[in-house]
């Protein structure tokens, strides 16, 4: 039986799951839709299948992370964390700043856990922070080197193009899979780990979010993110997938948004004539840092207020 805190936490989580699924369509299927490889609806379906399979097959792995940050299952503390994360995530979304749900949710859990006096697994916390710092740096460097590597003259351009297109569909699916396993898995593990009903509710919310926000799939890629060519796009998606999947195995919530954005930056930097707006980069970086700190503080304050009440 759910209490009110658990119920509200679940409702907020379902809303966030829908928003995350819709928001990340551009990073998962944006390139294959914008590149004319598949139609928009097909792109949404590719991402949706990826999200659902990732959540279903590996979503539970993030329970390790939830348990490390919130070792005691108390629906009030959980609600405080999810409310704080939800508020920061929605505000960032309204400000059109690319915010990471994994980052704000984990930070809010730490804040709420501290207020409740939980013994947070510090080794895991340090590992998670290290992953948050290292993963974007690694993705930027790896994608930069892949994208700027000297290419050999191609003998069969049409064949290479077809192979690149097929690979892009695969990597788009894998990107969505890792998002389903990691970010959505973290959210699911925090509110309904082990519950089939809640898992089904999450899957429904993800499907609704994917189709409701499918209109953003092109706009985001063309207007808000640097459009990359096939080679850069492949490298970006592949590196993001590998890093997030590795984090999933360790139970670490790792932001797809962060890794994808820095991979895109690496790809963008590989073009000699590409101009990158440093102001936009500062905004992205500040959004991440301030978002995490704000969630830490808000999670603490809300949990403390609820305990006092």
Partner 1 sequence: MGILERIFESGEQRVIGNCQEIITIAGSANKLLMKGFHSESALQKIHLLERQSDRKVFSIVTTISAGSIAPNAIDNFIALVKKEDDIVDSIYNLCREMCRYRIEEDKIEDTVDSKIMDLLGLATTAIGQLKILFKEDDERNISRYRHKVADIEEDGDIIKDWLLSYAYKKKMDFKSFNHTIELAHKADDILDSCRSTADYFTNIMFSLTT
Does residue number 37 form part of the binding site for partner 1 (CB under 8 A)? yes
Task: Output the CA angle 299-190-193, nearest 5 degrees.
Answer: 165
Q: Which of 10, 28, 34, 254 binds partner 1 (CB under 8 A)?
A: 34
CA distances from 217 to 43, 62, 213 (A): 9, 27, 8
Closer CB to partner 1, 18 or 48, in the complex = 48
What CA–CA distance (Å, rounded) separates 204 from 186? 17
- Nearest one of 83, 111, 93 to 13, comparing CA atoms: 83
Provide the mask over 92-131, with x wherever binding to partner 1 is found by CB under 8 A and - wherever it is not.
Answer: ----------------------------------------
What CA–CA distance (Å, rounded) separates 241 from 174? 6
What CA–CA distance (Å, rounded) separates 108 from 89? 11
What CA–CA distance (Å, rounded) separates 238 from 150? 19
Helix, strand, or coil (residue 279): helix
Q: How far is the CB of 171 from partner 1 (least distance, A)?
A: 14
Closer CB to partner 1, 223 or 277, in the complex = 223
Q: How far is the CB of 64 from partner 1 (least distance, A)?
A: 37
Does residue number 194 form part of the binding site for partner 1 (CB under 8 A)? no
Q: How far is the CB of 221 from partner 1 (least distance, A)?
A: 9
Question: Residue 227 gets which letter from DSSP?
Answer: -
What CA–CA distance (Å, rounded) separates 231 from 276? 19
Number of residues that bind partner 1 (CB under 8 A): 27
Does residue number 63 form part of the binding site for partner 1 (CB under 8 A)? no
Does residue number 222 form part of the binding site for partner 1 (CB under 8 A)? yes
Of 244-273, binders to partner 1 (CB under 8 A) are: none
Do residues 81 and 13 touch, judged by C-beta distance below 8 A? no
Does residue number 224 form part of the binding site for partner 1 (CB under 8 A)? no
Does residue number 153 form part of the binding site for partner 1 (CB under 8 A)? yes
**Stretch of 47-55, 67-75, 146-154, 171-179 contacting partner 1, by CB under 8 A:** 146-154
Does residue number 231 form part of the binding site for partner 1 (CB under 8 A)? yes
Q: Helix/strand/coil (H, E, C) string of 195-225? A: CHHHHHHHHHHHHHHHHHCCCHHHHHHHHHC
Provide the mask over 155-174, with x wherever binding to partner 1 is found by CB under 8 A and - wherever it is not.
Answer: xxxxxxxx-xxx--x-----
Q: How far is the CB of 235 from partner 1 (least distance, A)?
A: 11
Closer CB to partner 1, 166 or 286, in the complex = 166
- Nearest one of 228, 309, 298 to 265, comparing CA atoms: 228
Residues forming the site for partner 1 (CB under 8 A): 34-39, 42, 151, 153-162, 164-166, 169, 222, 227, 229-231
């Amino acid at each position: 039986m759910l209490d009110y805190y658990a119920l509200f936490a679940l409702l907020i989580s379902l809303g966030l799951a829908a928003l995350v699924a819709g928001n990340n369509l551009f990073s998962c299927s944006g390139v294959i839709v914008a590149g004319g490889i598949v139609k928009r609806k097909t792109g949404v379906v590719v991402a949706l299948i990826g999200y659902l399979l990732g959540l279903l097959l590996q979503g539970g792995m993030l329970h390790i992370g939830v348990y490390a940050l919130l070792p005691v299952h108390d629906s009030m503390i959980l609600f405080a964390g999810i409310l704080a994360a939800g508020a920061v995530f929605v505000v960032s979304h309204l400000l059109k700043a690319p915010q990471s749900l994994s980052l704000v949710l984990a930070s809010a859990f730490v804040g709420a856990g501290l207020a409740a006096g939980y013994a947070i697994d510090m080794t895991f916390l340090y590992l998670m922070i290290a992953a948050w710092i290292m993963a974007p740096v690694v993705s930027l460097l790896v994608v930069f080197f892949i994208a700027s590597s000297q290419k050999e003259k191609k003998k069969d351009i049409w064949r290479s193009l077809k192979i690149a297109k097929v690979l892009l569909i695969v990597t788009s699916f894998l990107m969505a899979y890792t998002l389903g396993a990691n970010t959505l898995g973290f959210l699911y593990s925090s509110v309904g780990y082990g519950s089939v009903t809640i898992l089904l509710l999450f899957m429904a919310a993800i499907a609704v979010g994917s189709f409701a926000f499918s209109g953003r799939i092109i706009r985001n890629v063309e207007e808000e993110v640097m459009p990359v060519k096939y080679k850069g796009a492949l490298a970006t998606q592949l590196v993001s997938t590998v890093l997030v999947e590795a984090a999933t195995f360790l139970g670490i919530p790792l932001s797809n948004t962060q890794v994808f954005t820095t991979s895109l930056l690496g790809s963008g930097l590989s073009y000699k004539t590409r101009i990158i707006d440093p102001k936009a980069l500062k905004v992205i970086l500040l959004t991440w840092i301030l978002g995490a700190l704000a969630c830490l503080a808000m999670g603490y304050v809300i949990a403390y207020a609820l305990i006092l009440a």
